[in-house]
Amino acid sequence: MAFLRHTLWLLWKDLLLERRRHESLLAMFFFGTLLLFIFQFALDVQPEKAADMAPGLLWLALVFCGTLGLMQLFQPERENHCLDALLLAPIDRAAIFLSKVLFNLMLMALLEIVVLPLFWVLFNLAAWDRLPWVFLYGLLGTVGFCVVGTLFSALTLTARGREILLPLLLLPLLIPVVLATIRGMEIILRAGDFSESLPWLHLLIGFDLIFSTAGMLVFEWVIES
């Protein structure tokens, strides 16, 4: 299981570097919180409408923060040609992909663990018992975001105007994820009948599986020089 071992070592490296460089997590957290406040002012969310608008606003905030994280994702590899060092090593390049996806996922999951309850409080959403289901949708959606996002972050590594190009490429392709997550959350928050949201759940899982597989297969070509 060399593949798994390499993935875990690379993940260890990224986590260690994040702890020391503080590049991603703090920025994402503050930006996310800031966005939630701004939404409140800009949109004047009424309490009755909060449950309807909440998932959409939450996801907007997460997508913005996530894109910030994606920009930084390969930063350690850009310095000192470390990417070449990884390419030289006898590892399956899909391990690099998987480790970055997992790293990004962990950052965003941490973000969501903090932001979701904060969101609940700021928007005065009721029914705390629904939070775990909402979190499940959030997590599955985040997996989709991380998988396609990591792929495109690597793809655009050498492109000019990367800050614009990455979201431009990424967001249309993430529409199924965005729609499925938001609609699923809406259904849960509104009626609470879980089975009604099942088609969206299946779509999410399908998306995650298809693009995780596709990502691992094509990453080899994405990352070579």
Q: Does 15 bind another protein (CB under 8 A)?
A: no
Contact in structure between 189 and 55 (CB atoms under 8 Å):
yes
Interface residue with another protein among 36, 57, 73, 86 (CB under 8 A) is 86
Can residue 79 be called a binding residue for another protein (CB under 8 A)?
yes
User: Which of 28-36, 61-69, 134-142, 215-223 is the region at the interface with another protein (rule: CB under 8 A)?
Assistant: 215-223
Rounded to the nearest whole angstrom, what is the least distance from the CB of residue 84 to another protein in the complex?
A: 6
Q: Does the footprint of another protein cover residue 85 (CB under 8 A)?
A: yes
The reply to whether 84 sits near another protein by the rule CB under 8 A is: yes
Q: Does 169 bind another protein (CB under 8 A)?
A: yes
Cα–Cα dist 158/83, whole Å: 12
* Interaction between residue 49 and another protein (CB under 8 A): no
Under the binding rule (CB under 8 A), the answer on residue 60 touching another protein is: no
Q: What is the pattern of x (binds another protein, CB under 8 A) and - over residues 93-112?
A: x-------------------
- As measured in angstroms, the least distance from the Cβ of 143 to another protein is 14
Does position 148 bind another protein by CB under 8 A? yes
Instruction: Mention every residue, 6+ apart, whose C-beta is less than 8 A from residue 30.
Output: none
> Does position 13 bind another protein by CB under 8 A?
yes
Least Cβ distance, residue 79 to another protein (angstroms): 6
Among residues 67, 142, 74, the alpha carbon closest in space to that of 110 is found at 142
By CB under 8 A, residue 179 contacts another protein = yes
- DSSP structure string for the chain: -HHHHHHHHHHHHHHHHHHHH--SHHHHHHHHHHHHHHHHHHH---HHHHHHHHHHHHHHHHHHHHHHHHHHTTHHHHGGGHHHHHHHSSS-HHHHHHHHHHHHHHHHHHHHHHHHHHHHHHTT---GGGHHHHHHHHHHHHHHHHHHHHHHHHHTTT-TTHHHHHHHHHHHHTHHHHHHHHHHHHHHHHT--GGGGHHHHHHHHHHHHHHHHHHHHHHHHHH--
Contact residues toward another protein (CB under 8 A) are 2, 5-6, 9-10, 12-13, 16-17, 20-21, 76, 79-82, 84-93, 148, 151-152, 155-156, 158-162, 165, 168-169, 172-173, 175-176, 179-180, 183, 199-200, 203, 206-207, 210-211, 214, 218, 220-222, 224-225
